[in-house]
């Protein structure tokens, strides 16, 4: 194409910076798959989000079991330490692409009802509301980041060290009762999150920054 090597390198670097391709050492450059943009503006589940975006969602159920609640799970579900809870592992899939690995803990009386249903087809939130009569009102979200290691690499079909989003989510039923605690691992190459935030002005004005600037200058002398 009569293009110099430096121009090709710059073009490839620009494509990588835009997230359109990725490089693997010793292998070459590869086109990234299309990223799904998921809005975090309301309490919704994976199936609802994917259907809204026009994807075909389903799940692969890995395991369900009863386990004693450790300190973190007990705190999130507001249960005594060691209380038996229901634990669920699933891979969430859209258009045959694994997007997230979901680990879920639920109060045992509720969880044992949920696992009787087909969790590869029906989402937990819909089962809670449409079949078991619960009303979900709100959830606490904590978003973080990590890298894929161990089982996550195999279940999400990614390389060791691939970037992963984490979401820690506790859903509350009517009356503020925690009913579902989840730790979710999302492929960062396939999904991104979008939200709109309202402005919250600070209680201080510019004079505080003036004072801070003066203090910094004084400390540097």
Average predicted confidence (pLDDT) for the chain: 87
State both tokens at 193: 């999150």
Read off φ and ψ for residue 180, nearest 5 degrees. Answer: -155, 120
Question: pLDDT value at position 50?
Answer: 84
State both tokens at 22: 């990725």
Mean pLDDT of 116-124: 94
Q: 131: pLDDT confidence band, cut at 50, 70 and 90?
A: very high
Q: What percent of the chain stands above pLDDT 90?
A: 55
Mean pLDDT of 28-40: 69
H or E stretch at 163: strand 163-173
Question: pLDDT value at position 162?
Answer: 92
How does pLDDT run across 72-119, given as a tens digit for each residue?
A: 999 999 999 999 999 999 999 998 889 999 999 999 999 999 999 999
Question: pLDDT value at position 51?
Answer: 86
Q: 122: pLDDT confidence band, cut at 50, 70 and 90?
A: very high
Find, among 128, 114, 60, the residue nearest to 85 by Cα: 114
Q: Which residue has the higher pLDDT, 214 or 179?
A: 179
Question: pLDDT value at position 209?
Answer: 78
pLDDT tops 80 at residue 217: no
Q: 178: pLDDT confidence band, cut at 50, 70 and 90?
A: very high
* Length, in residues, of the chain: 221
Sign of CA dihedral 114, 124, 151, 140: negative
Q: What percent of the chain stands above pLDDT 70?
A: 90
Question: pLDDT value at position 33?
Answer: 58
Q: C-alpha 135: how far from its chain's center?
A: 22
Highest mean pLDDT among 120-124, 197-201, 207-211: 120-124
């Amino acid at each position: 194409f009569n293009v110099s090597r430096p121009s090709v390198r710059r073009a490839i670097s620009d494509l990588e910076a835009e997230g359109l391709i990725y490089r693997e050492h010793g292998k070459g450059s590869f086109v990234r798959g299309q990223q799904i943009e998921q809005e975090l503006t309301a309490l919704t589940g994976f199936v609802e989000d994917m259907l809204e975006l026009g994807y075909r969602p389903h799940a692969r159920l890995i395991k369900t079991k009863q386990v004693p609640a450790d300190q973190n799970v007990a705190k999130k579900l507001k249960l005594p330490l060691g209380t038996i809870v229901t634990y669920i592992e699933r891979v969430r899939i859209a258009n045959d692409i694994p997007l997230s690995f979901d680990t879920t803990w639920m109060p045992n009386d509720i969880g044992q009802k949920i696992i009787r249903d087909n969790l590869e087809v029906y989402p937990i939130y819909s089962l809670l509301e449409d079949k078991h009569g619960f009303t979900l009102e709100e959830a606490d979200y904590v978003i973080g980041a990590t890298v894929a290691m161990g089982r996550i690499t195999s279940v999400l079909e990614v390389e060791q060290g691939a970037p992963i989003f984490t979401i820690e989510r506790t859903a509350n039923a009517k009356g503020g009762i925690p009913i579902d605690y989840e730790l979710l691992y999302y492929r960062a190459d396939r999904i991104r999150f979008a939200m709109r935030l309202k402005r919250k002005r600070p209680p201080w004005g510019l004079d505080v920054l003036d004072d801070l600037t003066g203090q910094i200058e004084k400390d540097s002398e």
